[in-house]
Amino acid sequence: MPSYTLALLPGDGIGPEVVAASIKVLDATLEKLTDVTFRYDELSVGAGEYLKNGDPLPASAVERMKVADAMLLGAMGLPSVRWPNGVEMTPQIDIREQLDLFNGLRPIKLYHASHSPLKGYGGAGEKTIDFVIIRENCEGLFVDRLRPREPNPEFETDTMKITRHGAERVCREAFKLAQKRRKHVTLVDKANVLPSMAFFRKIFDEVAEEYPDVGTDRVYVDAMSLFLVQHPEKFDVMVTENMFGDILSDLAAGIVGGMGMAPSGDIGPEYALFQPSHGTAPTIAGKGIANPIATILSVALMLEWLDTPETARGARLIESAVAAVMGDPANLTTDLGGNTGTDAIADLVITAL
């Protein structure tokens, strides 16, 4: 009987609340599956751990992540807890790099017209929003953020690094995903200005030849910001570098209700971590009003990734329950303009399983 160990990294801010609500949903889902069990290994990682013990990502925690079958993360970092150079601690980015979680999967789906600021989407007979952004997680513009630097009062630089290996593997993931969906991949880049992006496009074009059944197009990142607002229904799978993916996934979340509706998976050759796309939302932490749907949907992504018929069935059960609950405009969390709390939404999802 498959028995999985799930490393839980609740983290800071609203992380612990949304993880607890999602584990309740996972436990209820497991009751409906045959012979699938989970053991939870809770790890202390993040700004809170730094304040307690001086390291936001202890090596011992990383070792325990490596022996788990998957990881579920809440949110990490707090605005008041920073390194001496002024940047926030971002153990969630360090984990991606240390565990080579290069494939940043960000599904974007609209469940009800009232969640979107765009008109003409999500109602009966209206257009739908249903696409996936694949963000390269291990290189791009974030790549040398940890490079030791001499303090210079006049300038600072960051480097955009695209390697053949990194670009090839992330583009292949985009094409493989598109083959299971509507068979279209859009490359998002800035190939008209940046040589690193022209290189990314060249590799994308080479990989595209391996997948003749998948259609392609290429859009500059500035134009994509416009198109995501004007006609998001036209996109199926997008692939882009780290920083562009970071920015576009927030924009994309905004058109389906906000960060509380956007799940993600960070997947590598050996390990995989699932987490809501949002951060710690410190202003609402501890109030019981955080929207847990992004984390619940991240649990569904995890079950799908575990890739057995029963875990895949569990993923579908959660997705359908979320669609039923969030498809009812009576069930709105505060970020969507309602007043249903974190636990109440999780309980509704459990009832709908």
Query: Is residue 326 close enough to count as binding ligand ATP by CB under 6 A?
Result: no
Selection from 276, 261, 270, 279 nearest residue 345 by Cα: 261
User: Contact region for ligand ATP (CB under 6 A) — 75-83, 98-106, 154-162, 215-223?
Assistant: 75-83
- Residues forming a β-bridge with 140: 161
Query: Is residue 16 close enough to count as binding ligand ATP by CB under 6 A?
Result: no
What are the DSSP calls for 9-37, one per residue? EEESTTHHHHHHHHHHHHHHHHHHSSS-E
The binder of ligand ATP chosen from 280, 311, 331, 340 (CB under 6 A): 280
Residues 6+ apart with CB under 8 A from 86: none
The alpha carbons of the chain give a radius of gyration, in whole angstroms, of: 20
The binder of ligand ATP chosen from 16, 74, 77, 314 (CB under 6 A): 77
Q: Which residue is nearest to ligand ATP (CB)?
A: 279
Number of chain residues interacting with ligand ATP (CB under 6 A): 18
Pick between residue 298 and residue 311 the one whose CB is nearest to ligand ATP. 298
Pick between residue 269 and residue 337 the one whose CB is nearest to ligand ATP. 337
The binder of ligand ATP chosen from 43, 284, 299, 302 (CB under 6 A): 284
Pick between residue 28 and residue 78 the one whose CB is nearest to ligand ATP. 78
The binder of ligand ATP chosen from 279, 296, 303, 346 (CB under 6 A): 279
- Residues forming a β-bridge with 107: 132
Encoded one letter per residue, x for contact with ligand ATP by CB under 6 A and - for no contact, window 113-152 reads: ----------------------------------------
Report 252-271 residues binding ligand ATP (CB under 6 A).
Answer: 258-260
Helix (H) / strand (E) element for 312: namely helix 309-326
Query: Is residue 278 close enough to count as binding ligand ATP by CB under 6 A?
Result: yes
Which DSSP symbol is given to 69? S
Which DSSP symbol is given to 346? H
User: Contact region for ligand ATP (CB under 6 A) — 43-51, 209-217, 239-247, 283-291?
Assistant: 283-291
Under 8 Å between Cβ of 29 and 346 = no
Residues 6+ apart with CB under 8 A from 263: 106, 107, 274, 276, 277, 294, 295, 296, 297, 298, 300, 301
Query: Is residue 345 close enough to count as binding ligand ATP by CB under 6 A?
Result: no
How far is residue 58 from each of residues 83, 93, 285, measured CA to CA in Å?
16, 14, 24
Cα maximum dimension of the chain: 62
Report 35-74 residues binding ligand ATP (CB under 6 A).
Answer: none
Query: Is residue 291 close enough to count as binding ligand ATP by CB under 6 A?
Result: yes
CB of 3 to ligand ATP, least distance (A): 30
For ligand ATP, the binding residues (CB under 6 A) are 14, 18, 75, 77, 79, 258-260, 278-281, 283-284, 290-291, 294, 335
